[in-house]
Structure 1
Amino acid sequence: MSSTPDPHDFLDIDAELSGEERDIRDAVRGFAADQLAPHVAGWYESGQLPAAELAKGFGQLGLLGMHLEGYGCSGTSGIAYGIACRELEAVDSGLRSFVSVQGSLAMYAIHKWGSEDQKQEWLPKMAAGEALGCFGLTEPDAGSDPGSMRTRATRDGSDWVLNGSKMWITNGTVANVAVVWAQTDDGIRGFVVPTDTPGFTANEVKHKLSLRASLTAELVFEDLRLPESAVFPEVRGLRGPLSCLNEARYGILFGVVGAARACYESALEYTLTREQFGKPLAGFQLTQRKLADMIVEVNRAGLVALQIGRLKDSGKLHHNHVSFGKLANVRSAIEVARSARTLLGANGISLEYPVMRHMNNLETVLTYEGTEEMHALSLGQSVTGLSAFR
């Protein structure tokens, strides 16, 4: 006789993980339950985050740049990295974003495009959580169209002088180093910018209603002077920053499975214990239909993430596979969160439960690292061969 499906992993997806991947899942899930979950509602409400403390803990777990090789990085599989993102985002999207920006944006950029000196200087410290990084691409007037960025770096003798600004930069106020992309006479180029360089300012973005357990900044560069050694030596154009975004989007398509799972599990527990009209809410047909729809979406998203992880680890991953995963899985997670909110009734809007927090966060996740519309157009171009971007 086959066993009854587990309500928390209905299709037994995690049975497909290797032993090492399950060990990483358990380590991150345990750390999240002990060190993150008890505090996340307070961080969200206050809009604050103990960044240095978190970086140290994540570094000790080996989560920072975990899928990168060498320089103090763990060198895990892509699936292992995805599972870690899933377990972090089950607590809060802001916590997954913290790790994702550090590893898949700032560290990946230096690892992929940096000089050997840049790698040696920054990656070991960043992997250990001793230095934090941020990634400066988005501007107030250049979001989905990064090629129209106005930030510019100009030559002055053997130096570069940087002027401009970046917006919505995660970890910008606490970073020790910023990877900044700027227009030059030779196309868009990337720069490794220590944040204590004169002319660098990070202004906190306030009044957010989403991703509040995440630190967001505007970066401003005013005649910021950098040596020649600060520029990425080879890469030109958008190929550099877009390759980094693809890494971050990969973490998102796994991460949102955790957010969806957390909302579903909260709704399941609540409806099994909350009684109305003489029986648990879970005993009513309309409630069971919503729970059934949720478990389908959570497991479908989990399978999509696992298959994309397999493609990544086999070297067959295309950036449109990642667009597929982000588009499909974020959409599923938002629907699960919204449905879970209805099942919790008035309690669904309280920080005593995670659902409204996840629901608000996912509205940002839908937009950043490529809006839903941009990923839809990427898929459309992939299957038709015709570009509809312009």
Structure 2
Amino acid sequence: MSSNQHFVVIGGGLGGAKIAEALRANDFDGRVTLLAAEEELPYERPPLSKQHLAGTQQLPDFTVDSAAWYRDHHVDLRLGTTATAFDPIAKTVTLPDGSTLDYDKLALATGSRARTLDIPGADAPNVYTLRTIADSNALLEILRTDRRLVIIGAGWIGLEVAAQARAKGVEVTVLESAELPLVAALGPEMGAFYADVHRTHGVDLRTNTAVDAIRTEDGEATGVRLRDGTVVPAQAVLVAVGAQPNIEAAAAAGLAVDGGVLVDAALRTSNPDVVAVGDIAEQDHPLLHRPIRIEHWATALNQPAVAARTMLGKTAVYDRLPYFFSDQYDVGMEYSGYVGRGDDVRVVVRGDVDEREFVAFWLDAENRVRAGMNVNVWDVTDRIKQLIGSGESVDPDRLANTNIPL
């Protein structure tokens, strides 16, 4: 492609950095501008609730590329800068100072922001969310100094932080509005498993619980008031109620959006000169035959290679199965595949749940494997993906039999 072409990437997380890498790996010799809202070099986010809180990794350990890499590969990385708007007709990106950048191709990797609660006290200085390294640094300090943490939300972030807090001896209460943790993602069987894991490690996990307000004294949060009037004391509060995809600029620019920015199998948006990756990309998945949007690390890691080829006019299809992982206490897991809310599935377990060493499979009405989660069982992800990808029915009894190889 001609060296006078200018490609702009909006979003300086893992997805944006990997698009810049992939463009150069595909021998694009034109201009590349990467707009990063944070002041830090692009970094990966999973360690924020895992190794960084555990104190085993620092920011340089999970930074994607060094400053030298961007310089040596002639990527114009603009830290502390994001786009306020873009115009896909004029092919311009508007910057905060009112200036504009012309582009030939545009990549959206704007990620998500933490959801907040519209309740009294939510703006107190010791009420936190977790999305950035600054958030993680603040939480790390809390875990070092405060001994009573209340977490609102029993999703992946809330439970991972709870595990790190308990490892440091912090008293933790987790408040969840649903009947079980992770029930929307994993269903009741595995939600019950994770509830048991956390209660065994001393977490005061309260489900079917509605939060009414965060109680404050002298401006500081001192507890969380529940709908029934109960007050749960706290020295700090973490709000972990999910993420909101940053799709406002895309919607304002006239791109097709739903829960995310709609993209095809090549990650192309409704405008042929704009691609989208990561948390915001709602893809018509070519293997799953349904629109999906996945807010996990593997998506931001792997989609950019396809998006870059699409920007370069090359044939590309993103057909990887969704994948994510979580580490909580001595429980490590990997999840492959996809089950949507309301899907008619049942869980078949292979191994011993009580010993916390098993693989759970989600089977549809035709006994086809839709997803699999291996817990403290390793080197089986590829075989799980093969079972999903085959689209063939399986015998549930044989699947559950550990004497029969997958």
TM-score, scaled to structure 1 = 0.28
Give the structure with higher Rg (CA).
2
Could you say which structure has the higher strand fraction? 2
Could you say which structure has the higher helix fraction? 1
TM-score, scaled to structure 2 = 0.27
Greater length-normalized contact order (CA 8 Å, ≥ 6 residues apart): 1
